[in-house]
Amino acid sequence: MSRSDGIWQEVGKYSDRKKIEQDITALLNQMELFEDLSNRDLRQITQIAYRRFYAAGEAIVIEGQDAAGMYIIMDGEVEVTKELEDGSVVRLATLDSGNFFGDVGLIDNSPRTATVQAVRDSEMIGFFRPELLKLMDSHARLASNLIFTLAKIVASRLRFTNRKLQEAQSEIDQLQTTLDALQVSETDQTKLATEIV
């Protein structure tokens, strides 16, 4: 390989990197998490992003492991599963391109609450807490915007979970009432049977 080939290869790599960065910026631009950020801010965010490739069946995050950040699915499909106390595994969701997961990992390092596995060969964009904290030092406004949006998403999820919990509670109450009514009718039936006998 001549020297000029090496130079052109480097130029090629540089332009590839620029193209990838543009693709990532375009993807981030469409996401709720980054909707309040300017293009310049998005380019900054792209600087701290890591592009990772996962083969089908490979785990991206593992339940119980300390969280370090979040992932956006750039291309591919993943499955979110949870291990129950009896050891059985339940599937919680299937996510595809444009979706993200593990966002709470950007805020703290508490253990992951579910396992995420690639269903087919997938390309991810990862953002990690250490890099975000560094960004806070140099770009405080950008980082606070991002964390505020993240907090809004988490709050909205919390509201959704609360609503679901309330619904579940009211269903339990209804079931309890039905059960009580059934028990009363059972007692009545027993009394009636005793009287007949």
Residues that bind other proteins (CB under 8 A): 47, 50, 52-54, 58-69, 83, 109, 111-112, 115, 126, 128, 130-131, 134, 137-140
Residue number, 45 or 61, with CB nearest to other proteins? 61
Which residue's structure tokens are 């995050």? 61
CB of 172 to other proteins, least distance (A): 30
Q: Which is nearer to other proteins, 63 or 77 (CB)?
A: 63
User: Which residue number, 139 or 154, has a Cβ lying nearer to other proteins?
Assistant: 139
CB 24 within 8 A of CB 51: yes
Hey, what's the torsion of the CAs at 30, 110, 67, 60, to 10 degrees? -90
Instruction: Output the smallest distance, CB 106 to other proteins, in A.
Output: 12
Query: Of the two residues 31 and 139, which places its CB atom closer to other proteins in the complex?
Result: 139
What is the arrangement of strands in the sheet containing 69-75, beginning at the earlier edge strand? 50-54, 122-128, 69-75, 100-101
CB of 94 to other proteins, least distance (A): 20
Cα–Cα dist 69/61, whole Å: 10
Q: Are 42 and 28 in contact (CB under 8 A)?
A: yes
The residue with tokens 């770009």 is 139
- Cβ proximity to other proteins: between 27 and 142 the closer is 142
Q: How far is the CB of 65 from other proteins (least distance, A)?
A: 4
Min dist. Cβ of residue 91 to other proteins (A): 17
Which residue carries 């979970």 as its tokens? Answer: 161
Tell which residue, 40, 24, 21, 47, has the closest CA to residue 145.
Answer: 40
